């Protein structure tokens, strides 16, 4: 209704309509005054009102048409703006892909940007790219990638090695372990709890350094076979041995655990490097705790000990307990964290 009134006011048709209505009323009055019937007067009045109605409809239709035209114009402007935005986004994408700044100059070159502005733009482009890189890779991932490249460069591999990821020790951990081999005595004994890719890399490092041998304890037949197979493919079976060691119940520090069968490790003496990466947590709480109490007496003075996965609460607790308690006259000092592995040095009282 409101809109119809506005339409009426905004057009010349309402006046003509009003005039028609007044004329109709006048005609109706004249008809009655001249002795015409009321029916005739009513018909004249109705005709007049119909005329007004037509005017209203006409004016309203006219306004709708105007609004439609305005809307069409706005749509055209919007679509032109969208095209401009798309072009700008494309230009920015090109600019990001070309750190040389060439496309950047093309975008803003027309405005004869001076050297200072160009310098600022390049600085911010550099910041954007750095942010992008960090958005893609975390510091930790960059560290792992770099360790992986180092590992292959330093120790090589003539055949496929078991893949990293999942249960395997991380490249950073394996790189540190393999790098330590060169510092060990010629006849060094490296013991590993939990076999896998790390066994292969440690054996490769021993072969490369011409020193040391590896004994890996493995409770799982399938994984033992897999690691042995990988060692054989690399011609490393003379350097590393996988001992199948089913888990058996043991009580250490008043705690009950399942740990590698003693028959698999009781002959070991003079361990120079102990890498504790098993048994897995699924075996039970603090599943790696027994390693130090049970193998302490077999460690050489100054032996290196590494406990993997210390970002997990269980392993973090085990590391703290080992540091606090020591075992069998052996004390550990903390050598720091590499990736998710804590390294220690063991010394005898």
**What residues make contact with ligand SAM under the rule CB under 6 A?**
166-169, 194-198, 218-220, 223, 277-278, 280
Strand partners, 191: 215, 274
Q: Pick between residue 70 and residue 312 the one whose CB is nearest to ligand SAM.
A: 312
φ, ψ for residue 303 (rounded to 5)?
Answer: -65, 150
| Residue 150 CB-half CA count within 13 A | 16
Tell whether the torsion through CA atoms of 9, 13, 17 and 19 is positive or negative. positive
CB of 116 to ligand SAM, least distance (A): 53
Cβ burial, residue 281 (10 Å; 0-12/13-18/19+): middle
Q: State which residue has the least CB distance to ligand SAM.
A: 196
Q: Pick between residue 41 and residue 245 the one whose CB is nearest to ligand SAM.
A: 245
Distance CA 242, CA 195 (A): 7
Q: Pick between residue 35 and residue 166 the one whose CB is nearest to ligand SAM.
A: 166
CB of 151 to ligand SAM, least distance (A): 12
Q: Pick between residue 20 and residue 197 the one whose CB is nearest to ligand SAM.
A: 197
Tell whether the torsion through CA atoms of 191, 197, 201 and 203 is positive or negative. positive
Distance CA 329, CA 349 (A): 6
Q: Pick between residue 277 and residue 300 the one whose CB is nearest to ligand SAM.
A: 277
CB of 208 to ligand SAM, least distance (A): 18
CB of 196 to ligand SAM, least distance (A): 2
Select from 177, 166, 193 the least CA-distant residue to 288: 193
CB of 326 to ligand SAM, least distance (A): 24
């Amino acid at each position: 209704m409101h809109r119809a009134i506005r339409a009426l006011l905004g057009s010349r048709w309402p006046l003509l309509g009003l005039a028609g209505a007044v004329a109709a009323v006048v005609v109706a009055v004249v008809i009655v005054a001249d002795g015409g019937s009321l029916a005739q007067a009513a018909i004249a009045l109705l005709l007049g009102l119909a005329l007004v109605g037509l005017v209203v409809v006409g004016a309203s239709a006219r306004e709708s048409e105007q609004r439609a035209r305005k809307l069409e114009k706005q749509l055209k402007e919007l679509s032109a703006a969208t095209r401009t935005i798309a072009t700008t986004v494309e230009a920015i994408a090109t600019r990001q892909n070309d750190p040389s700044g060439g496309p950047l100059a093309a975008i803003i070159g027309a405005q004869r940007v001076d050297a200072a502005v160009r310098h600022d733009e390049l600085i911010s482009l550099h910041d954007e790219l750095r942010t992008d890189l960090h958005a893609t890779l975390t510091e930790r991932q960059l560290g792992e990638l770099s360790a992986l490249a180092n590992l292959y460069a330093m120790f090589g591999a003539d055949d496929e090695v078991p893949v990293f990821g999942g249960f395997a020790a991380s490249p950073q951990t394996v790189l540190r372990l393999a790098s330590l081999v060169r510092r060990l005595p010629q006849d060094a004994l490296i013991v590993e709890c939990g076999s896998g890719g790390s066994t292969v890399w440690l054996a490769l490092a021993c072969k490369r350094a011409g020193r040391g041998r590896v004994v890996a304890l493995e409770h799982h037949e399938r994984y033992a076979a897999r690691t042995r197979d990988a060692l054989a493919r690399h011609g490393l079976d003379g350097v590393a041995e996988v001992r199948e060691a089913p888990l058996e119940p043991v009580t250490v520090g008043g705690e009950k655990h399942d740990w590698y069968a003693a028959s698999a490790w009781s002959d070991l003496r003079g361990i120079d490097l102990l890498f504790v990466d098993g048994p897995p947590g699924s075996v039970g709480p603090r599943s790696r705790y027994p390693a130090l109490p049970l193998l302490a007496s077999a460690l050489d003075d100054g032996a290196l000990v590494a406990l993997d996965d210390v970002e997990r609460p269980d392993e973090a607790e085990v590391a703290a307990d080992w540091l606090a308690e020591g075992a069998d006259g052996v004390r550990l000092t903390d050598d720091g964290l590499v990736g998710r592995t804590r390294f220690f040095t063991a010394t005898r009282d």
